[in-house]
Structure 1
Amino acid sequence: MSKVNLAQTERAGLVEALRLAGSDAPTLCTGWDTRDLAVHVLLRERRIDATAGMFVPPLAGWTGRVTRAYRSREYDDLLADIAAGPPWYSPFARPDKFLNLAEMFVHHEDVLRGGADAAGPWVPRKLPPGLDEALVLPLKTVGRLTMGKSPAAVTLTTPDGRALLSVGKGAPVTVTGSVGELLLFAFGRAPVDVALTGDDEAVDRLRNAARGL
Structure 2
Amino acid sequence: MSASPPSLPARERAALADLLDELGPDAPTCCEGWTTAHLAAHLAVRDRRPDALPGYGLELLPGGGRLAWWSHRLEDRLRTSTPYAEVVGRVRSGPPVWSPTALPAVATAIDTAEYAIHHEDVRRAQPGWEPRPLPREEQDRLWAGLALHARRAAGRRGLVLRRSDAPGTEKRFGDAGRTVTGEPLELMLWVSGRRGVARVDVS
User: Is TM > 0.5 for Structure 1 vs Structure 2?
Assistant: yes
Runs of at least 5 residues in structure 1 that lack an aligned partner in the other structure:
198-213
**What is the CA RMSD across the aligned residues, in angstroms?**
2.7
- CA distance in structure 1 between the aligned counterparts of 2:23 and 2:83, rounded to whole angstroms: 15
1:48–1:68 Cα change, 3 Å: same
Q: Normalization by structure 1: what TM-score?
A: 0.77
**Alpha-carbon separation, structure 2, partners of 1:10 and 1:113:** 15
Q: CA deviation at 1:149?
A: 1.1
CA displacement at 1:156 relative to structure 2: 0.7
SS of 1:135's equivalent? helix
Match of 2:109 among 86, 98, 107: 98
State the alpha-carbon separation in 2 of the partners of residues 127 and 147 from structure 1: 24
Give the CA deviation at 1:154: 2.1
- Distance (whole Å) between structure 2 residues aligned to residue 196 and residue 123 of structure 1: 20
| Contact residue 161 and residue 179 of structure 2 kept, 8 A | yes
Alignment CA distance shift 1:154-1:32 (3 Å): same
What is the aligned counterpart of 1:158 among 152, 159, 163? 163
Larger Rg: 1
- Report the TM-score when normalising by structure 2: 0.81
Please give the residue correspondences for 1:78-97 in structure 2 after superposition, counting only pairs within 5 Å.
78-95=87-104, 96-97=107-108
SS state at 1:165 partner: strand
Instruction: In structure 2, give the amino acid aligned to 1:93.
Output: A
* Aligned equivalent of 1:68, options 76, 97, 120: 76
Number of the residue aligned with 2:140: 133
Q: Which amino acid aligns with 1:78?
A: V
Please give the alpha-carbon distance, in whole angstroms, between the structure 2 residues aligned to 1:105 and 1:176: 19
Count of aligned positions? 189
The AA in structure 2 aligned to 1:76 is A
1:177-192 matched pairs, under 5 angstroms: 177-189=182-194, 190-192=196-198
Structure 1 residues 58 and 163: CA distance shift in structure 2, 3 A? closer
Q: Percent of pairs identical after alignment?
A: 33
Q: Which residue of 2 aligns with 1:174?
A: 179
Deviates more, 1:105-114 or 1:135-144: 135-144
Offset, 1:48: 2.3
Q: Structure 1's 173 and 84: CA in aligned 2 closer, same or farther, altered over 3 A?
A: same
Q: Distance in 2 between matches of 1:140 and 1:76?
A: 34
Instruction: Return the alpha-carbon distance in structure 1 between the equivalents of residues 30 and 16 of structure 2.
Output: 13
- 8 A contact 1:175–1:195 mirrored in 2: yes
Counterpart of 1:201 in structure 2 is none
